[in-house]
Amino acid sequence: MAIEAPAQSPGSPTPAGSTFEDAGRSFQARPKPTRVVSAKTTVRERLVEIWRARELLIYLVRTEIKVKYKNSFLGLVWSMISPAMTLAVYTVVFGYFLKNGIPNFVIFLFSGLLLWNFFQTGVLTSTGVIVNNAGLVKKVSFPREILALAAIGSAGVFLFFQAIVMVIFMLALQVAPAWPLLWLLAVAFVPTVVLSAGLGILLASVNVYMRDTQHLVTVLVGAAWFWACPIVYSFQEAVATKLQVHHVEWLYFANPLTPIVMTFQRVLYNRPGLVRLTTPAHVYKRLLPSWPATTYLWADAAVLGVALLLFYVAMVVFGRLADNFAEEL
């Protein structure tokens, strides 16, 4: 809400010879209104509003997908071609030039990249969604959080088509997932959605006031955070053996995406034991930790707890900043 400070006290006399025109200029010269930001509704009430507007959320997800592939001949097929090309590049680089020796490296890579693409696309898109839809925000009254959630929803649609590519690669290479552990995929995906939604809502509100946020997030998420996850490299081989010496292995798990990516690798790549590398020959290494399913379950549950806390904080911050979106935009 806005509170305007008066230019003079109510009892002060009007200068001699003043006119209504002078009074108008005096009113225009007053200081700009002071904005006081306060949460009008609780988080629970806003969640209820979002649920009531779920049809609008579905409509925005559809619109986001249609706009992205508007006037495109292949349309949604591009969401399958793009990850396939990315896999081809990484496979050539690490399979033939750098030669990490990991058998079926394309499956190992895609099992982590599948989840990462969803997280990255959702967070990066939702960060700028309020600014990009400024006209809609200023003219129509609706729960603004839906814009960020729609970006996460559209990323989920793209994830579905990328999963089809994953299945095709697994069939072509005759690689079977860990069938008894398929339920862990759902367990790992839930905290990823909550984490993405929390970050997206928080960053979307901050970006309205500090436009550099979107560019900063692109650098941090698109570059630094990606390499902090065991996607291109093996956690057990490249990280655990080095951190265990200094007893700081737990530090690597400060990244909430680490156990989630490792869960997907455990289920889809399905090689928890010693793996014989293709180069050099006759060398066996452990790529994935030999944890039981319960360890992955509790690790993902811990990430879910952190994600829920972040989501609550994001909703509080968004509620306090949303009142002045129209003025800032």
Q: Which percentage of the chain shows pLDDT scores above 70? A: 84
- Give the burial string for 294-310 (b: 16+ CB within 10 Å, else e): eebbebbeebbeebeeb
**Domain coordinates in residue numbering, the chain:** 40-317
Helix (H/G/I), strand (E/B), else coil: 142? coil
Is residue 73 very low, low, confident or very high in pLDDT (cuts 50, 70, 90)? low
Q: Is 17 left (phi over 0), alpha (psi -120 to 50) or beta?
A: left
Q: What is the pTM of this model?
A: 0.82
Q: For residue 21, is pLDDT > 70? A: no
Where are any strands of DSSP class E within 230-307?
Answer: 274-276, 284-286
List, for residues 89-121, the tens digit of each pLDDT value.
Answer: 877 887 777 777 788 888 999 999 999 999 999
Helix (H/G/I), strand (E/B), else coil: 34? strand
What pLDDT does residue 129 have?
A: 92
CA–CA distance from 228 to each of 91, 224, 254 (Å)? 19, 6, 10
Q: Interior CA angle at 209 toward 205 and 211, to 5°?
A: 95
Q: For residue 278, is pLDDT > 50? A: yes
Q: For residue 38, is pLDDT > 80? A: no
What pLDDT does residue 83 have?
A: 78
Q: Please, are residues 115 and 192 in contact by the beta-carbon 8 Å criterion?
A: yes
Cα(40)–Cα(208) distance, integer angstroms = 19
- Higher pLDDT pick, 5 / 189: 189
Q: For residue 8, is pLDDT > 60? A: no
Is residue 200 very low, low, confident or very high in pLDDT (cuts 50, 70, 90)? very high
What is the mean pLDDT of the segment spanning 141-152? 91
Q: For residue 183, is pLDDT > 70? A: yes
Mean pLDDT, the chain, integer? 82
Task: Name 2's bridge partners.
Answer: 35
Q: For residue 300, is pLDDT > 70? A: yes
Instruction: Quickly list DSSP for 230-243.
Output: TTSS-HIIIIIHHH
What is the mean pLDDT of the segment spanning 38-42? 64
What pLDDT does residue 40 have?
A: 64
- Higher pLDDT pick, 297 / 243: 297
Comparing 36-40, 206-210, 300-304, the range with the smallest average pLDDT is 36-40
Angle separating helix axes 145-173 and 78-92, nearest 10 degrees: 60
Task: Name 284's bridge partners.
Answer: 276
Q: For residue 277, is pLDDT > 80? A: no
What pLDDT does residue 28 have?
A: 46
Q: Interior CA angle at 85 toward 83 and 88, to 5°?
A: 110
Shortest CA distance to 203 belongs to which of 138, 296, 126?
Answer: 126
Q: Which percentage of the chain shows pLDDT scores above 90? A: 43
Instruction: Quickly list DSSP for 82-149.
Output: HHHHHHHHHHHIIIIIS----TTHHHHHHHHHHHHHHHHHHHHHHHTHHHHTHHHHHH--S-THHHHH
Length of the chain: 329
What pLDDT does residue 243 have?
A: 75
- Higher pLDDT pick, 73 / 166: 166
Tokens of 120: 């990255």
